[in-house]
Amino acid sequence: MYNKDLSPQGLYIENGQQIKALDKKESGYGNFYLQPNGVFSINNEDVATITTTKKFNEELPIKYATQSGPMLIIGGQIHSKFTKGSKNMHIRNGVGIRPNGNVLFAMSKEKINFYDFAQFFKKMDCKNALYLDGFVSRTYLPCQNWIQEDGNFGVIIGEVE
């Protein structure tokens, strides 16, 4: 997540360099502060983890990290504040870790509520999953004919061959 001035909201580490510190505030405006929020990180051994902000160990050597919120799945359970059938519908994207350690990024093509979005990660056996962003999100994935070029955005997560 990013602030209006396009700076990262919360922890951001790129190539081992901390750009923004961990935001430990427990209240504030927006989804970021729906507790618990969390951190997606990749360590120096290329192992990905997702943890709540409270449990994140700032002393570990981290190559990449982003803080966001709310957590979608915590210890295999859907976030307790999500409501089945909620009318809070938006395009959403997030990240989870599969049991084999593979990272799973997902973005909805249609508006979806937090509960149903979290349910997707639960069905994919993710023990932990983190909401990354919402309605401003776009996907550029030509191999699947999913190309969204509208809006003012940059690549946050990319795959290269």
- The residue written with tokens 């580490």 in the block is 13
pLDDT for 153: 62
Residue 160 reports pLDDT greater than 60: no
Residue 23 reports pLDDT greater than 60: yes
pLDDT for 159: 56
Residue 30 reports pLDDT greater than 90: no
Q: How far apart are the first and last CA of the chain?
A: 26
* Tokens found for residue 146: 């999913």
Backbone φ and ψ for 99, nearest 5 degrees, come out as -55, -30
CA distance 130 to 94: 5
Residue 156 reports pLDDT greater than 80: no
Helices (H), 32-138: 114-123
- What are the pLDDT digits (tens) for 102-122? 999 998 989 999 999 999 999
**Contact, 114 vs 88, CB < 8 A?**
yes
pLDDT for 46: 95
Between 29 and 18, the higher pLDDT residue:
18
CA distance 68 to 151: 21
- What are the pLDDT digits (tens) for 52-111? 999 999 999 999 999 999 999 999 999 999 999 999 999 899 999 999 999 999 989 899
Q: Which residues share a beta bridge with 43?
A: 62
- What are the pLDDT digits (tens) for 112-148? 999 999 999 999 999 999 999 876 666 777 887 877 7
pLDDT for 135: 66
In the sheet with 38-43, reading across from the earlier edge strand, the strands are: 17-20, 12-14, 62-68, 38-43, 48-52
Backbone φ and ψ for 95, nearest 5 degrees, come out as -140, 140
CA distance 42 to 49: 6
∠ CA 12-17-21, rounded to 5°:
40
The arithmetic mean of pLDDT across residues 25-48, rounded, is 94
pLDDT for 161: 55
